[in-house]
Amino acid sequence: MYNNPLKILLIAGILLCITNWCFAVGDTTRVYFRLDVPIPEQDAIKKLDSLLYIDVINASQELLIIGYADHLGTNTYNDRLSERRANNVKSYLVSMGIPEKNITLVTGRGEVPRDVELPKGYAADRRVDIVVLAGKKAPTPTVKKEIVIPESKTPRRAISLNTTTVFDAATIEVGQLFVLDRIFFHTGRHVVMDESLPEMERLYKVLDENPSVEIRIEGHVCCVHPSVDALDLDTGELMLSVNRAKFIYEYLIKRGIDEERLSYEGFGKKRPLRPSEFTQEDQDMNKRVEIRILKK
């Protein structure tokens, strides 16, 4: 694997530094685990997602992943536990788009030696260190062109459902996209606020009065890495955009709209209207629900 002499020396130096619990080369971040747990849990996943989102970890870097355990348990058990922790972190990062070839070391170092051993161990020692090798520049963010089939040249626009004219079959186009700007969700949840109900009722009436129209409900979120969806606090799933679209889909079916006319999909943050989310306005623009006309 290591046919470059300079790389061999660099990694050997880092491993020597690891043995002495220091990191002079590269940036290091730590992900923590509960006692005897080898799988990253919710807090660890959130931290990894944050690191990916703010580009501390990205697909252009070379990574070293080193697992540890506290002094509780036998040496053999701790060696295995620390190795499993490291491999599970690697698997998650690869699933989120980090190239496997960029992770040049995955190892378990066993227990962290301590002069004083506590009966309950040290929580700080139940961790995985992710070392980002120095000299790797993060890529310049790019905005990917939205590709949708069918697609209309008509720009998306906020929809006012006070009348049904915008959904008149004679004026709408297949592929046309409308933003439902009066439907609001509780933060981190897929359940709408009470003030959204009149808008949802108007959406129902529009579809009821235009029985030939078929739509897709599309959910979008802000403030997460583009390759992931946001966490739905109601279900514990990373499917917030999907579940918000599904909530409106199920509402319309309960009101009597034929489910054959409806579909839903969540896109996470793959299709932002504002690539940068520096302001509240940017965030509000990106967390939205849209209606796409599939058939008129």
Could you tell me which residue, 133 or 269, shows the higher pLDDT? 269
Q: What mean pLDDT is reported for the chain?
A: 79
Mean pLDDT for the stretch of residues 38-52: 87
Q: Are 266 and 242 in contact (CB under 8 A)?
A: yes
**Least confident window among 15-29, 30-44, 262-276:** 15-29
How many other CB atoms are there within 10 angstroms of residue 231's CB atom?
Answer: 19
Domain ranges of the chain: 5-132, 157-295
Fold match flag (5-132 vs 157-295) = yes
Assess whether pLDDT exceeds 70 at residue 247. Answer: yes
Average pLDDT over residues 108-119: 86
pLDDT class for 4, splitting at 50, 70, 90? low
290 - beta bridge partners? 179, 218
Tell me the mean pLDDT in the region 155-184: 65
Burial zone of 158 (CB within 10 Å; 0-12 exposed, 13-18 middle, 19+ buried): exposed
**Where does 157-295 sit in CATH, by number?**
3.30.1330.60
Q: What percent of the chain has pLDDT over 90?
A: 33
**What pLDDT was estimated at residue 152?**
39
pLDDT of residue 58 exceeding 60: yes
Query: Distance between CA 106 and CA 128 in Å, rounded?
Result: 10
Single-letter amino acid code for the residue at 15: L
Per-residue pLDDT, averaged over 71-89, amounts to 93
Q: Which residue has the higher pLDDT, 150 or 75?
A: 75
pLDDT reading at 108 higher than 80 = yes
**pLDDT level of residue 162 (50, 70, 90 thresholds):** very low
What are the backbone dihedrals phi and psi of residue 55, each rounded to the nearest 5 degrees, phi first? 70, 20
Q: How confident is the model at residue 97 (pLDDT cuts 50, 70, 90)?
A: confident
| pLDDT exceeds 70 at position 149 | no
Q: What is the pLDDT of residue 50?
A: 80
DSSP category for residue 3: -
The three-point CA angle 72-73-79 to 5° equals 105
Cis peptide before 150 (omega within 30 of 0): yes
Output the pLDDT for position 38: 93
* Residues of the chain by 3-state class (helix, strand, coil), percent to 5: 35, 20, 50
Return the CATH class of domain 5-132: alpha beta
What are the tens digits of pLDDT across the range 188-234? Answer: 889 998 888 998 998 999 899 889 999 999 999 887 777 778 888 88
pLDDT band at 133 (very low <50, low <70, confident <90, very high): confident
